[in-house]
Structure 1
């Protein structure tokens, strides 16, 4: 089977969509299938092309057997609605044009969050007369209004109509959460064509690692500190000013450090807040390459997983909770009650606190630092339950679902 996969994020970018696509397609190649990924020059989230890459019209490479085609796009930082839309549209057009040159394709998969990529996948599937698979990573454009990037208006209404068109056109929808599936069914989408494949963790790369072996522990003098880390994209949805407030509440506890590592639209805001409040207990680390992520996680004793208190985020599962489980790192998750909080409670792999509550986050960090017995128990539960979210098993699950739709439709 030849799988054509369209995504605007792919390694060396280290965000959740890039990791999921790479780790799934890698396993599909191992299973004997041909995979072609069409993506763009790596630039997320700063909107700067990574060293060693060019934003050229077209380039080919092979990554662990995956055929990677990179196409030219309008590149901008992950902020600002108009510029991001131009970025999305440019990838839609270039991925479609160069996708026409892919031969003997059996299925086309397009992945969100934004669905301009999926429009290209739908059009290519139609022209090639093969099944069209929509991998649903986010309810978009609802997430735009949820984070306050844009108010509901005619543009959003048009985007919502396109969204529903794509759901109905898809031969298969692969949702990353059960909540998304439930919402789509309530909106009239046929539930029989929706399957759920959760995010997961590559247990070959993410496993318990002694802090002393992390280069970041030595560099930032964290060997003997209790570290609460926020690792990942600094986006509007995360409410990171609340984490800064929690750090301020614990600034007298010299044995505790807060670490922010990553980049994104809110990175400068976090940096300015830390400077303004003169917080010496906060360490800021720049975005690291994907290869360094396990080293970065290793410096953390607990992971901070925040989302702002909006109803939409009840349906979201931050993928970092799975990486934390793999690393044996308990989470302090401060998101609206929903699927993510249920996973953390069911696996007993962390503490659930109220979304956007600095005092509750600070208390949870202090409790886990003070209560060694509880902390050790949570660490054990993380390691015990991580196998439930092994990316290899999840990749195989999605492959079987795709194979079924190809057999049925093709």
Structure 2
């Protein structure tokens, strides 16, 4: 079977969509299928093309047996709604124009978070007369409303109508959460064509290891209890809460024991750094994004991983993929996200669930994990055991069965 996958995020980018797509496609190739990915020049999250790439109409490469076609797109940093829409729409157009040159396709997959990629998949599948799959990673444009990136308007209403049209037209919808599936069913989408394939972890890459001694020395972490957030610093993440918690930790008599690392980039990073400087938070360390190979070194530094999103109803439906990476590494979590993902944390017994945007709860949870070695070790052991339930290889095979069922 020849699978054509359209996505605007792909390695060497290191965000969740890029990792999921690559790891799934790699497993499909290993299963004997041909996979072609149409994507753009790697540029997330800074909106700058990575070294070794150019933003041009057509360039190809092969990654672990996957044929990768990169097309031109309007590249911008993750700042400003209009520019982001131009970014999304330019990829939609160029991916649609490039796809006819990919021959012998049996099924097309278009992945969110934004659904203009799914629009391209719908059009391409129609031209090729093959089935197509909408991989649903985010309820977009509902997430725009949740973070206040755009005021209520007829444009948002129109985008929602387009969203529902695509769900109806897709031959199958693969959702990353059960909550997303329930949302679609409640809005009239046929339940029989919606399958759930959660995010997971590549346990061959994310596994327990000793703290990276070089980084410990470089960042001054020797003898410190280290908590960290690794990921996008965006509007959705409310990372100001982490700075408030750091301020409270610093005020404790044993405050010098604690360090907080924030690794990644995004629209809010510069402002967060300014806030930390203004508050003299020398217990907070900011690190720029690193490669996929390097990020595991930074995960190894963490005694506790912090997962956090804004306190809004929409985010009770999401499952941050970094949760599974924490589990694979055996790192207990402080989970500042309510809903389905919090239920996983509690079910698997891998950490403490905190109220989102509650700095006191975050601070108290961190201190509890630092001062209770038995509890900490219990969470660590549970994380390693639970990671096996979210093995990316098996999840990739589950999604492959959905694609194979559509083959004519």
TM-score (norm: length of structure 2): 0.98
Question: Which residue of the partner structure matches residue 231 of structure 1?
Answer: 230
Question: Which residue of the partner structure matches residue 220 of structure 2?
Answer: 221
SS of alignment partner, residue 60 of structure 1: strand
Question: Which residue of the partner structure matches residue 149 of structure 1?
Answer: 149
Question: Which residue of the partner structure matches residue 57 of structure 1?
Answer: 57
What is the CA deviation profile of residues 92-137 of structure 1, one whole-angstrom value per residue up to 9, with x for unaligned ones?
Answer: 0000000111100000000001000100000000110100100000
Question: Which residue of the partner structure matches residue 314 of structure 1?
Answer: 316
Provide the C-alpha distance between the structure 2 equivalents of 1:51 and 1:215, rounded to a whole number of angstroms: 25
Q: CA RMSD in A?
A: 0.7
Q: Which runs of 5+ in 1 are unaligned?
A: none
1:198 and 2:209 correspond: no
What is the CA deviation profile of residues 29-73 of structure 1, one whole-angstrom value per residue up to 9, with x for unaligned ones?
Answer: 000000000000000011001111110110010000000000000
C-alpha deviation, 1:400, in angstroms: 0.9
Question: Which residue of the partner structure matches residue 277 of structure 2?
Answer: 275
Q: What does residue range 313-352 of structure 1 map to in structure 2 within 5 Å? A: 313-336=315-338, 338-352=339-353
Provide the C-alpha distance between the structure 1 equivalents of 2:333 and 2:79, rounded to a whole number of angstroms: 27
Provide the C-alpha distance between the structure 2 equivalents of 1:219 and 1:8, rounded to a whole number of angstroms: 34
Provide the C-alpha distance between the structure 2 equivalents of 1:265 and 1:214, rounded to a whole number of angstroms: 31
Provide the C-alpha distance between the structure 1 equivalents of 2:151 and 2:184, rounded to a whole number of angstroms: 22
C-alpha deviation, 1:215, in angstroms: 3.5
Question: Which residue of the partner structure matches residue 366 of structure 1?
Answer: 367
**Which aligned runs of 4 or more in structure 1 are off by greater than 6 angstroms?**
none
| Conserved? CA contact 1:112–1:118, under 8 Å | yes
Question: Which residue of the partner structure matches residue 304 of structure 1?
Answer: 306
| Conserved? CA contact 1:25–1:35, under 8 Å | yes
Provide the C-alpha distance between the structure 2 equivalents of 1:292 and 1:174, rounded to a whole number of angstroms: 30
Q: What does residue range 126-275 of structure 1 map to in structure 2 within 5 Å? A: 126-211=126-211, 213-252=212-251, 253-275=255-277
1:405 and 2:403 correspond: no
SS of alignment partner, residue 250 of structure 2: coil
Provide the C-alpha distance between the structure 1 equivalents of 2:214 and 2:391, rounded to a whole number of angstroms: 26
Provide the C-alpha distance between the structure 2 equivalents of 1:215 and 1:99, rounded to a whole number of angstroms: 45
Question: Which residue of the partner structure matches residue 285 of structure 1?
Answer: 287
C-alpha deviation, 1:214, in angstroms: 5.0
What is the CA deviation profile of residues 259-301 of structure 1, one whole-angstrom value per residue up to 9, with x for unaligned ones?
Answer: 0000001111110110010011111111111111111100111
Provide the C-alpha distance between the structure 2 equivalents of 1:45 and 1:188, rounded to a whole number of angstroms: 35
SS of alignment partner, residue 272 of structure 1: helix
Q: How many residues align?
A: 405
Structure 1 residues 313 and 214, CA gap change in structure 2 (3 angstroms) = farther
Q: What does residue range 371-382 of structure 1 map to in structure 2 within 5 Å? A: 371-382=372-383
C-alpha deviation, 1:221, in angstroms: 1.5
Provide the C-alpha distance between the structure 2 equivalents of 1:117 and 1:193, rounded to a whole number of angstroms: 20
Provide the C-alpha distance between the structure 1 equivalents of 2:206 and 2:222, rounded to a whole number of angstroms: 20
Structure 1 residues 405 and 227, CA gap change in structure 2 (3 angstroms) = same
Provide the C-alpha distance between the structure 1 equivalents of 2:290 and 2:272, rounded to a whole number of angstroms: 17
Provide the C-alpha distance between the structure 1 equivalents of 2:390 and 2:202, rounded to a whole number of angstroms: 9
| Conserved? CA contact 1:37–1:67, under 8 Å | yes
Provide the C-alpha distance between the structure 2 equivalents of 1:368 and 1:279, rounded to a whole number of angstroms: 21
TM-score (norm: length of structure 1): 0.98
Q: Which runs of 5+ in 2 are unaligned?
A: none
